Chains A and B, each alone.
Chain A
């Protein structure tokens, strides 16, 4: 047999699948509860350390992907990827994507009447170092309206996608900015109960800020942790 050290289940900060204030969840949330299964090698493994071959090299500067500089407030976003015990998650990939400074995505389906920026795509990718640290440069995205309800506006946010070490640690989330009044009235952010919602709010940091160049924000991503001792599998063995 193979010893399995399972990853933790979701904690109380996880949103429900169905959150009717966010209308798109109504027809897209399962009605049946998920079935609890024991983790196997399938769930405790993942494509760790093969990012270059799988996805291509890092793209850590979203302001340098075109001929000119994008419009907007240049920012640095930095932090660590950790597990729930505070241990670094090294050599893991974080993909990021976002709207431009006016709140407009480069996407064809985005019909918001704000200007596109020919010098900004808004897609990037970083790999954590041995201490789990990452850093990328971008411009601060704008807020934008959407069709969820009358006068609905998404708070400024950066989308984040992490695989972590295993299928069980997969995470897609969003980074919000401090002191944004739209967070409190955003149904997507509000699907996460307080106080856990505040885990998604980055911190302005003067030490990450570079003089005469860019404001700095810190944001740590905490992935599901793993028991230290192998699971003895008492119910199934023998």
Chain B
């Protein structure tokens, strides 16, 4: 005897919601970069904003034949003081994070962003400087950039921001980009910077690079004692 299922006409009547469902339209949610991004994201030279080099990549983590990303090219030397910025990334227990990826975005030496959304025409774009960099941390948890020291850029209202870099942190276990900043210990205007001023005094130091071995050093602590200040943009 054949028994009819009572719900044949309603079962699976609607497909499951997915990416293109108009009812779900909105920001695509963030996910972790995972541990295996090194052959896909940090290209050789990605951490060198000044000239050609291999900085930023981790070619030790995959076979040579599988390096598909860009090779460094010479594009001319940008104006300004060349600096090296480095630091160590730590987790909440104080262990190093050898599988993080750090990105920077900054103005050129004159304080101009190489972006169509920086409308100022009185400050020149440097044809040799883009201002975006990407570095993997080393097996010791160290990131390292070579760049130029940025100039000051306007802040809210009539304020002027102290020289700084915008910094993004990605890693296995980091579900969404952590946004922070890097200022310089001797930076003009640190004491009146409109963003630093929003940070409790006791935590401001987590955003300020210190001179070290001729360069600048700023550790990034994802949690625990001395946790880096991260921003909600």
Interface residues of A (CB under 8 A from B): 1-4, 7-11, 13-17, 19, 22-50, 53-56, 59, 65-66, 79, 84, 86, 95-97, 99, 105-110, 118, 121-124, 159, 161, 163, 165-168, 170-174, 178-179, 188-189, 191-192, 195-203, 218-224, 233, 235-238
Q: A96 contacts B153, CB within 8 Å?
A: no
Q: Which residues of A contact B33 (CB under 8 A)?
A: 159, 161, 172
Q: B227 contacts A97, CB within 8 Å?
A: no
Closest CB of chain B to A140's CB: distance in Å?
16
Q: Which residues of A contact B31 (CB under 8 A)?
A: 15, 159, 172-174, 188-189, 191-192, 200
Interface of B, helix, strand, loop or mixed by DSSP: loop
Contact for A42 among B19, B130, B166, B229, CB less than 8 A: B166
State the CA gap A31–B92 with chains docked (Å).
Answer: 9
Known A27-B91, A28-B173; judge A106-B27 contact (CB<8 A). Answer: no
Contact for A55 among B27, B35, B36, B69, CB less than 8 A: B69
Interface residues of B (CB under 8 A from A): 16-21, 24-41, 43, 46, 60-63, 65-66, 68-71, 75, 91-93, 95, 97, 99, 103, 105, 107, 113-120, 130-132, 153-159, 161, 164, 166, 168, 170-179, 181, 194-195, 198-199, 203, 222-224, 227-233
State the CA gap A66–B97 with chains docked (Å).
Answer: 33
In the complex formed, the residue of B with least CB distance to A162 is B28
State the CA gap A84–B177 with chains docked (Å).
Answer: 19
Q: Which residues of A contact B224 (CB under 8 A)?
A: 31
Contact for A34 among B62, B131, B231, CB less than 8 A: B231
Q: A1 contacts B175, CB within 8 Å?
A: no
18 extra A-B contacts, CB within 8 A, seeds A59-B68, A221-B28: A15-B29, A17-B174, A30-B227, A31-B227, A38-B194, A40-B194, A41-B153, A41-B154, A42-B113, A86-B25, A97-B36, A97-B37, A106-B66, A109-B61, A161-B40, A171-B28, A218-B20, A233-B156
In the complex formed, the residue of B with least CB distance to A7 is B233
Q: A173 contacts B30, CB within 8 Å?
A: yes
Q: Which residues of B contact A8 (CB under 8 A)?
A: 27
State the CA gap A37–B229 with chains docked (Å).
Answer: 12
Q: B130 contacts A108, CB within 8 Å?
A: no
Known A17-B174, A223-B27; judge A46-B43 contact (CB<8 A). Answer: no
Q: Which residues of B contact A121 (CB under 8 A)?
A: 39, 66, 68
Q: B105 contacts A54, CB within 8 Å?
A: no
24 interchain pairs, CB-CB under 8 A: A1-B157, A2-B154, A17-B175, A17-B178, A25-B173, A26-B92, A27-B92, A28-B91, A34-B230, A37-B233, A46-B105, A55-B70, A56-B43, A96-B40, A106-B66, A108-B60, A173-B31, A179-B16, A191-B31, A200-B28, A200-B29, A236-B157, A236-B159, A236-B194
In the complex formed, the residue of A with least CB distance to B155 is A40
Closest CB of chain A to B149's CB: distance in Å?
15
In the complex formed, the residue of B with least CB distance to A3 is B119
Q: Which residues of A contact B153 (CB under 8 A)?
A: 40-42
> 9 closest Cβ contacts across the A-B interface?
A97-B40, A24-B173, A56-B70, A236-B157, A45-B115, A28-B173, A236-B156, A34-B232, A47-B132
Q: B233 contacts A159, CB within 8 Å?
A: no
Closest CB of chain A to B168's CB: distance in Å?
6
Q: B39 contacts A178, CB within 8 Å?
A: no
In the complex formed, the residue of A with least CB distance to B94 is A27
Q: B18 contacts A203, CB within 8 Å?
A: yes
Closest CB of chain B to A93's CB: distance in Å?
11
State the CA gap A35–B142 with chains docked (Å).
Answer: 25
Q: B166 contacts A167, CB within 8 Å?
A: yes
Contact for A110 among B36, B63, B97, B168, CB less than 8 A: B36
Contact for B231 among A35, A170, A172, A196, CB less than 8 A: A35
In the complex formed, the residue of B with least CB distance to A50 is B130
Q: A97 contacts B29, CB within 8 Å?
A: no
Q: Which residues of A contact B231 (CB under 8 A)?
A: 34-37
Q: Which residues of B contact A220 (CB under 8 A)?
A: 19-20, 28
Closest CB of chain B to A128's CB: distance in Å?
14
